[in-house]
Amino acid sequence: AEQIEVRGLDGRVVLAGTFDNFVLPLGSHFALVLPSHQEGMSLALLEAMAAGLPIVATDIAGNRDLLSSGRHALLVPAGDPTALAAAIERLLDEPELGVSLGVAARERVAEEFSLAKCVEEHVALFERLVGAGGRQPSASTKRFFG
C-alpha cells in the first residue's frame, strides 16, 4: 500500500484484500492481476472475463483451466514478480493487446461458463448418475430441469 502511494497510484490500484474494496465496478478497471500460487476455479477470473477485462495471472493449473496464455490473458510463472511486472507493462504499452485479450476472454466465458451452459452440464451429469443407478428422474426434477 505504501508503494502505491509513493508511486502516485492512489485511486488507480486497488488491493482487493477486503470485500469492500472489491465491489467496485469491474468495467472501470484497467486489468485484473491475479498473482496466486494456488487457485481452483477462480470466481474473480470468471467475473473479469465476463467484464472483458485484460487479465494478468499466474500460470497455475486452476488458471490454465480458464485461460490460454496469449489468447485470453497473459500468464506468468508463479513467484516471479519481474515477469508479473513485465506483463502489466506490456498491457500498458500495447492497449490493443488488452482489448483483444478481453474480447477473447469474454467470448470464452459466455460460451463455456454461462448459466445456461452450467445448467445443461449439471442436467447431463444428473441424467448420467440416474441412468447409472437405474432410476429415472422424478416428474418434479424433469419439470425443474426440462
Taking only the tens place, the pLDDT of each residue in 75-133 is 999 999 999 999 999 999 999 999 999 999 999 988 888 778 888 888 888 888 887 76
Q: How far apart are CA 36 and CA 4, in angstroms?
A: 20
Average pLDDT over residues 19-31: 54
DSSP 52: T
Band the pLDDT of 15: cuts 50, 70, 90: low
Q: Which long-range contacts (CB under 8 A, 24 or more apart) does 82-87 make?
A: 84/33, 84/35, 84/56, 84/58, 87/56
Q: How far apart are CA 116 and CA 77, in angstroms?
A: 33
Q: What is the pLDDT of residue 21?
A: 41
